[in-house]
Amino acid sequence: MLIPKYLEEISEVIDTSKNIEVAKIKCKCSHGHFLVYEFFETDNVNIKSGFNEIIRENDKLYLVKRNFFGKIVKKIECGNMFERKQRRIIKVICEKCGKEYTLFDNYKHGYDAVIAQQESYTLKEKITFDFKQVYPQPIEVYVKIYQDISYDQFKDEFKSIDYNGYLNSFCNIDIYGINSKSRKIKICSEETA
């Protein structure tokens, strides 16, 4: 099985081969139609207004806001936010019960995210995301996972990551929908390694 651990409870595998698995997403209420939303970060979405300076203290980077007199009044740890990919999140909301699921977040899912899981890619403060609806009506949603490395190879390279980490470290993800007219709608295709 190649479906990531975080999707297991809502996935019904419909096709499988050596390196690829395709699953239909089904809500825990057993409904199969979802409204689909995407957040795709633009360049300075995390830079809050008033934070206009970056300083280094104790080998950490901070965004700072200064008052009129130059005194730091607010400081946010950056982690390595300046060395990272733009964030992309795909979520679905069940048409029937309203339950929300995150199908993909490139800061949490996929090879690069799992390998760098000890690092902080985001600000330490809670960030709110501005999601845009991908398709105007509820659709069936499918996830296609591609994994090109075996668990044994993965284990040899990354001894500290378990089998669940392996499943969540897929190399490529395609998310697509099928509308009421049986047309395929591309939602997301991302290489994660």
Which of the pair, 45 or 108, is modelled with greater confidence? 108
pLDDT at 118 over 60: no
User: What whole-number distance in Å separates Cα of residue 44 and Cα of residue 67?
Assistant: 22
Judge contact between 3 and 73, C-beta under 8 A.
Answer: no
Q: What is the pTM of this model?
A: 0.74
What are the domain boundaries of the chain?
A: 5-43+86-191, 50-84
Site of tokens 């390694």: 193
Share of the chain above pLDDT 70, in %: 84
Confidence of residue 42 (pLDDT cuts 50, 70, 90): low
pLDDT tens-digit readout, 60-86: 777 778 787 878 888 877 765 555 467
